[in-house]
Amino acid sequence: MRILNLKTFLLFLAPALLLYSLFYAGPIISGLYYGFTDWKGISFSANWIGLDNFKNVFSDPLFATALRNMFILAVVVIAVQHAISIFLAVLLDQKLRGVVWMRAVIFYPAILNTVVIGYIWSYMYSPFVGFLPKFFESLGLDTLANIDWLGRPDTAIYAISFVIIWQYTGYSMMIYMAGLQGISSDIYESASIDGANARQKFFKITLPLLVPAITVNTVLSVIGNMKQFEHIWVMTQGGPANSTQVFGTLIYQFAFKTSQPGYGTAMAILLSILIMLVTVSIIRVLGRWEVKQ
């Protein structure tokens, strides 16, 4: 029996389909055309220039910087964030006193506004008046106290990475906890009877059975970090000396600051392709490691 007929089907689908196509998918897909033009972004008209934008992108040093920073954000941040959050999830899955409260505090930064977080950390890092200089000074570590973390090209991206980890560790932790709750306690009991110690249980039971949660979590953070714009825009705007440029900040600048949206769009196309490739490979690779309970 059909619940909907064609008319009601279209009626139900129409609002979402129209808004989504006009104001989200359409603009992005039209970028597939604008990426091959000298578009100035003043109107919808533009001249076809073939592959020129893409050729320029590949010889652009900023593209190399963006790739490098994307790699740092997508690999280093995720490795650190997920190692900590799996560990914390296992710890806070125990019956400790005040455990609900502790989880809530660790999760809290995830709901805060990026601008607020950006300000807090800009101050934490800021030379002379900030928290870190004063903190290191009070410990007698003068060399560390004199580092301008966000102001130096070699440290800035790592300083920002730390902030991202600070904000989202609690979020990944909660996803891992949801995964842990799906593991039946029978498995642990029989492992105990067989004489397994805590470490063996973690590596032989917990970790393999967490792979689905790891997949979800990694895909979420990889996509999020590859699209990164906000944290960097609020803290460094891509500086100092372009050392923290990522695709998001570059595309924004080409679009709204230097009037080269055609060029920026070419970059956005490359980024979209990269994101899709990476997402699919993560799901493939981790999918192979999944085991049935």
Partner 1 sequence: MRAAKVSSYGIVAVCLAVILVPLFVLATVSLQNASGTLNPLALPETYHWSNYPKAIEVGRLVLYFTNSVTVLAVSLSATLVCSILAGYALRHGRAWKADWYFSYFLLGMILPGFAGTIQSFLLLRELSLLNTHLGLSIIQVAGGMALPIFLYFQFFKTVPLEIEEAAMIDGCSPIRIFWQVVVPLTLPVTSTCIIVIAINSWNDFFGPLVYLSSPDSRTLPIGLMFFKTQYSANWPQLFAASALVAMPITLLYMFVQRFIIKGLVGGAVKG
Partners of 37 in the β-ladder: 48
Residue type, 1: M
Interface positions, 212-251, toward partner 1 (CB under 8 A): 213, 216, 220, 223, 226-227, 229-230, 233-234, 247-248, 251
The token pair at 55 is: 């050729």
Interface positions, 161-190, toward partner 1 (CB under 8 A): 166, 169-171, 174-175, 178
In contact, 265 and 201? CB cutoff 8 Å: no
Q: What is the 3-state secondary structure (H, E, C) of 199-240?
A: HHHHHHHHHHHCHHHHHHHHHHHHHHHHCCCHHHHHHCCCCC
Report which of 206, 122, 117 is spatially closest to residue 165, judged by C-alpha positions.
117
Interface positions, 36-95, toward partner 1 (CB under 8 A): 41, 43-44, 84, 87-88, 91-92, 94
3 state DSSP class of 52: helix
Scanning 61-69, 105-113, 145-153, 203-211 for contacts with partner 1 by CB under 8 A, the matching segment is 105-113
- Binding test (CB under 8 A) with partner 1, winner from 49, 51, 79, 198: 198
Distance CA 207, CA 123 (A): 38
211: left (phi over 0), alpha (psi -120 to 50) or beta: alpha
Scanning 48-56, 63-71, 184-192, 255-263 for contacts with partner 1 by CB under 8 A, the matching segment is 255-263
**What's the min distance (Å) between Cβ of 156 and partner 1?**
18
Length of the chain: 293
Scanning 67-75, 140-148, 183-191, 275-283 for contacts with partner 1 by CB under 8 A, the matching segment is 275-283
**What's the min distance (Å) between Cβ of 91 and partner 1?**
5
Is residue 141 part of the contact set for partner 1 (CB under 8 A)?
Answer: no
Judged by CB under 8 A, the number of residues near partner 1 is 98
- Binding test (CB under 8 A) with partner 1, winner from 1, 58, 288, 292: 1
**What's the min distance (Å) between Cβ of 222 and partner 1?**
11
